[in-house]
Chain A
C-alpha cells in the first residue's frame, strides 16, 4: 500500500515538477509570476486530448500540445508582458491573470465546460512489480518528465543560450553588456515555459483520462506552492519539491482523506514562507526574483 502510494505520488509529483519549472523559468529571468501558466497547462491537455481523439499517437499529441502552449506563451509575452515590462511587478502579473481567464474562456467555448473523457481502456495497461501495480501511463509521465527536465537542464547549464538565460537572471545589466539580447532571452524563457506546461497538460490529462477547463487553476496553484517550497531563487528546487508535494498529497489522501490534502500542501507552503522563505534549496530571500 505504502509503495503503491509512493509510485502514485511520484507520478503526480512529476507533473508538478514540470509546471513548477515552467513558472520558475519565467520568474527567474523576469521576476514576474506568469499566472497564465496554469492555463497553458490546461490548453496543452485539451490539445493533447483532441489529437488522441483523432487516433493519432501520444508523441504527436505531445508535440502539438507543446507547440500550442508555446505559441500561447509567446502571445502572452507579446500582449500581456512586454508592453508592461517597465511597470511595477504586480502589473504584468495581473495582466497574465487576465490572460489566464481569457484562455479558460476560449477553451470553454471550443470544447465546452463539461469534463472530457477518454475511453478507459486507451491508456490503462499496467504491470506489477512485487506488490506495486504500475500503469504504463505512469511510466510515460515519469519518463517524459525525466527527458524534458534533462533537456532543460542541458540547455540551461551547457549551451550558450542557457548561459544567457542565467546571466540575465543574475544581472541583467552585465548580461546586456556582454551582448545578451534581453528580448531574445525573454522569448526563450517564455517558449520553454510554454513547452513544459503544454507537455505536463497532456501527461496529466491522459493519466487521468479526463480533463476540464478548470484544471489549470488547481494544478497551477499547486505548482506555485511547489516553486515556493523548492525555493524561488533556484529553478532546480522544483526537482525536489515536486515529488515531495506529489507524494505528500497522495499519502494524505490515502491515510488522512482527500478533504485535508490542500491543507497539507498549502500549509507546508506557508510554513516554508514563515520559517525558510528562501525555500528548501534557495540561497536568498524567496521574494527576490533572481534565480537559476
Chain B
C-alpha cells in the first residue's frame, strides 16, 4: 500500500469539511475520488499534499505524514496538480517548469527532464517563453501536469484536471492520465465527471458532505445505485450496457 488514510478529519474553523475518511491506494493504481462540490474531495487531497491541517493518520510508504508539511511531502514523492491548475500566470512556461524541479538536487538531470517534457508536450516547447496565463485551458493543464511530474513523484494527486476544459481536451487529459499509470505512476484522481473517470480508474470512492458513502472497483461503482443516482444519470450501467 503506497498510501493509507485513516479517520481523516479536516476543519476550516468550526466547519468540519472532511469527516472520518478512510482511503487505501496500492502502488500503480488510479484511484478516483468522486463527489459533488463541497463533498470534501479537494480538502482531502490538500491534506495528503501537506497543504491543510488534519486530524487522523495519513501513511505514505509506511511513514506517517504530518499536517501542513507540503515541502516534505513533495520531497517524499507526493505531487499535487491543484484545482484550477495552479499555474503561475505572471511567469513564463519555462519558469513554471523550472519551479517543478525546485525541490531536486540533481539539476543537470532536471534540465534533461525539462527537455523530456518538451518532447512529450511539444506545445510547451513552442510556448516556453510565453507567460503561462496566455496559454489555453488545455495547454495550462498540460503545463500543470508536466510541472508536477518534474518533481519525479511516485504518487500524483490530480484535482479536477478536466475542470473548464472542452470535451475534446478533456478526452486528451484522461488519455494522458492513463498513460501516466502505464509509466508506473500511482494516481489519486479527484473528479466530478464520473463516467469518464470510472473508465480509466481501477477503484473509486464516492464522497458526500465530507464522508465516503460508497467505494469499490470502478466496475462495481459503475453499477452502484448511489453512484448512478448522483452522477451517472440514475440507471446502473448493467441495465444500459454502458460502463
Which residues of A are interface residues toward B (Cβ below 8 A)? Answer: 160, 163-164, 166-167, 170-171, 173-181, 292
Contacts and interface: CB of A to CB of B under 8 A. Distances in A.
Contacts of A173: 51, 82, 86
A179 B82 contact: no
Given A163-B91, A167-B88, A176 B99 contact: no
Which of A166, A178, A181 counts the most B-chain CB atoms under 10 A from its CB?
A178
Interface string B101-135: 01100000000000000000000000000000000
A interface majority secondary structure: helix
A139 B21 CA distance: 66
Contacts of B51: 173, 176-177
Interface in B32-77: 49-51, 70-71, 74-75
Contacts of B91: 163, 166-167, 170
Contact of B99 (A167, A181, A292): A167
A174 B144 CA distance: 11
Nearest to A159: B98
Q: Which of B70, B80, B91, B98 has the most CB of A within 10 A?
A: B70
A170 B90 contact: yes
B89 A176 contact: no
B151 interface: yes
B147 A178 contact: yes
A176 B90 contact: no
Given A167-B99, A177-B70, A179-B70, 10 more contacts: A160-B98, A163-B95, A166-B88, A166-B90, A166-B91, A176-B71, A177-B80, A178-B100, A179-B103, A180-B102
Contacts of A178: 74, 99-100, 102-103, 147, 151
Interface residues on B, range: 20 to 34
Nearest to A176: B70
Contact of A179 (B71, B86, B88, B95): B71
B98 A163 contact: yes
B102 A171 contact: no
B88 A170 contact: yes
B102 A163 contact: yes
Contacts of A179: 70-71, 74-75, 102-103, 151
B101 to A, nearest CB: 8
Nearest to A178: B99
A174 B151 contact: no
A175 B51 CA distance: 11
A171 B88 contact: yes
Best-buried of A160, A174, A175, A181 by chain B (most CB within 10 Å) = A174
Interface centre among B49, B88, B147 (most CB of A within 10 A): B88
Contacts of B90: 166, 170, 292
A176 B100 CA distance: 11
Contacts of A180: 71, 99, 102
A174 B71 contact: no
B135 to A, nearest CB: 15
Contacts of B151: 178-179
11 contacts: A163-B91, A164-B102, A166-B90, A170-B89, A174-B86, A177-B49, A177-B80, A177-B82, A178-B99, A179-B103, A179-B151
B134 to A, nearest CB: 14
A163 B99 contact: yes
Contacts of A177: 49, 51, 70, 74, 80, 82, 86
A179 B75 CA distance: 7
A25 to B, nearest CB: 16
Contacts of B49: 177
**Closest 4 CB pairs between A and B?**
A179-B103, A174-B86, A176-B70, A179-B74
Contacts of B102: 160, 163-164, 178-180
Contacts of A174: 82, 86, 88
Contacts of A164: 99, 102
B6 to A, nearest CB: 24
Contacts of A175: 99
A226 to B, nearest CB: 22
A164 B75 CA distance: 16
